[in-house]
Structure 1
Amino acid sequence: MTHTIDRPRTRMPRHRFMPAIWLGLPLIALYAGSTSSYAATTNTVINVRDKGAKGDGVHDDTLAIQSAIDSLPARGGTVLVPKGTYMIDAMRSINLRSNMVLQLAPDATIAALSNGSKRSYMIKVWNVSNVSITGGNIVGERNGHTGVGGEWGFGIDIQAAKHVRVTNVHISDCWGDGMWIGALGPDGHATPSTDVVVDNVVSTGNRRQGLSIGPVDGVTITHSTFSNTHGTMPQAGIDIEPQAQGHASNITIDDCTVADNRGSGLEIHDNVSNVTVKNSSFTNNYGYGVLTVDTATQVSIGNNRITGNGLAGLSINGKSSYVKADGNTLGNNSARYPMKQNTPLARNTNFMQGRQLEVKDSTHQITTSSNTFMPQTDWH
């Protein structure tokens, strides 16, 4: 194991929100410049109101929205959800199909009716390709949930899907995870999701995680916020947790804010490789700011701001290997364990820096350099 620590300049993360634009037009040319091919290129546009959806916040619009989706031709098209609150049954789910855009107005909300189930899905993106979800709000039913157990009430659930874009969406109050991106199938033989982009998404106030990532190959998370997760463990902002089901690789988290979660900001677990975390902010989470554990490998953590977290700001733990932490700014972490000023430990520079960035002896091939350690202000 090798690691070094020094303190040159650091780049501060930036964060921006791009407003959703309601054009009332089909999204014919999707994501110009993307290397992926998107096939929703027909002029077919179906308004859910034309299929009987009321959007009055009372009526169950599940069947009407599904009818609009099922009415698209094989080559695809756009389903429009105009202003209103559309109640849906998460036990039936809205099931998206290939080659389609689900386009919500900025003031459109898809909200879940109360249920007592341990497991439910508001919007399923399963075994499909070339799908976009853009705009509007997804609101779960944690506040009206009639059961007491379980942790699997999902807002947007993407499994075994290819070429998926989720943009400009606000997700909140789900019984489980705001979003899940992963695989379908048995352990070791599951079909992963590939080429998924999450951009300018807010996932907040959910019960289990803001975003969970299972077996995948190619996920990019940009300009997004994952905050205020609370209710049932692990309560992280983002949790990469494929475990035995399969492998998760080629994941980028860039220019994101992960804050005020009851668990850790970001957790990277077993069976994960090739993860890049950059230009992001991990602040005021109750657990770690960023944690690598188990056999996480080939992880780059650079130019992030990691401050005010309850445990160590960045913990490279377990059997993690080939991890590089470079150019991060760390300070006021281990906030759950305040120290008195001028004690021998408080004067020990190595000990204090370890409260910000810790590298466990069980890891190997770890490089830490060019990180900046802010003066502590949690004195008592």
Structure 2
Amino acid sequence: MIQVDNLGKKFGIRQQSKGQPTTEKEVWAIRQLSFTLPKGKALGLIGPNGAGKSTLLKILAGIYLPTCGQAILSGQSGAVLDIGSGFHPDLTGRENIKFAGRLAGLTKEQLEAALPEIIAFSELEEHLDTPVKYYSSGMFLRLAFSTLIHTECEILLFDEVLAVGDSAFQEKCFQKIQSLKQDGRTMIMASHEPAKLAQFCDEVMVMANGACQFLGPAQKALSFYSKHFALSSTPQPRDSRYLEQLTYEGATVIGELPNEEIAVTFTVKLKVKSHPLTVAIALTDSLNQLLFSGHQPLVMENVNANESMEVQWSFPKSHLNEGLFWVNFYLFEEQNIVEQLPKVGQLEIPPYQDPKRNIEGGFHAIHIDSQIQVSYE
């Protein structure tokens, strides 16, 4: 279990202007943070750069001491934080494994028994006797992660470093994380990838300015993050060969139950006529996953340069579960994307009364009418 009570961390930053004496500015990286993480649960951390995620993990790992408050970890902890942290650059990979293993509390006999598995998982057999100062960032990750997961740590702390490395090894890491969670390990994982947090975490904390902005079930927390932090301003075409202006007019519900539709509307101005163009509109969820799209070729002889035209895309409302969705705009010339404006607008679907839809909305965005048949002998 992890218990955090009124935690705060303050740093002093020295500032010096030309011809002026040096001054020190106090910055609170963590402020009044409290939460409890039960044994065997996984907590995700997400937020903009400078939110305090890495500082929190370093306090929990014992690298930083808090300025105020306390963090109590009931159990041995291990961390994969900054790339290369805990490694001596002049030691070989093999020597660093042994060094890290002993620091984690493994006996010499336990370490010798675990060494073949650590080496096999890391896939670094050919480089194991090379000093780690010559390793790439991906190799650092392999070595650190492989060593950590083969220790007996009950609490595991992961920073964004799991985004480093090739996709095959990432998938291998995430499969291992799933098995460790099933074994009852307690985990905190910081990431900028909402889909990864939704996949592995029971709850997610949204952080900003060193404080908790939202803490709750993964899907609800990630929708909150997407709505409040994922978009700073509406993107507009710049130096576009094709678009003079693009305005998102919003999404409206048309029709009556059970045939309600959502109509997404844009006002578009093209600069000049070109080869045949196709307009496409796509929907992504709060995890930045593309859901579905619609497209329509433009009748170019009806398009006048710098004159507005309305583009509307409709689809059944029943396709979407509860949540926040982003509207994305594209122009195609032949088969090539020539304009791409992500997250031009958003729409939000409120909770459904149907318990089945509430279950679906807790872990995915699209609803498909289907029945599961269960036969009992």
TM-score exceeds 0.5: no
TM-score by length of 1: 0.30
Q: Higher relative CO (CA 8 A, sep ≥ 6), structure 1 or 2? A: 2
Between structure 1 and structure 2, the one with the greater Rg is 2
Q: Which has the higher helix share?
A: 2
